[in-house]
Amino acid sequence: MKVTAKDQREEFIDRFTEKLKEWNEELEKLENRLDEEYEELKSDYKGRIVELKQYRNEMETKLDKLEEVGEEAFESIKGDINKLWEDSIDVLQSLKENLKKS
């Protein structure tokens, strides 16, 4: 059975939808940890969490857009999503490392 562009798109959307679910869980855990253990640092880290949520929202918006665009726009939007993902992972890792040091 030949994999079509539509199949690839649906697989990509499904895979990133799952990643975003995991991302939401990670954000929730991180936010809970901040609330419990680092009250004095919370205001500094809250800004980073807001930034992470903005990345998440942008990825969700672009995933929704993939449902509506033609094949020619798919690769561009896919690249945007991948870039947002990488950037958000960098911010999350940095935030986690800073928490370990605190």
Q: Specify the pLDDT at position 40.
A: 66
Q: Which residues contact 88 (CB under 8 A, 6 or more apart)?
A: 23, 52, 55, 56, 59
Q: Specify the pLDDT at position 46.
A: 82
Q: What is the pLDDT of residues 10-38, one digit of tens each?
A: 999 999 999 999 999 999 998 888 777 76
Asked whether the beta carbons of 58 and 16 are under 8 A apart, the reply is no
Q: Which residues contact 67 (CB under 8 A, 6 or more apart)?
A: 13
Other beta carbons less than 10 A from residue 87's beta carbon: 14
Measured distance CA(101)–CA(78) in Å, rounded = 35
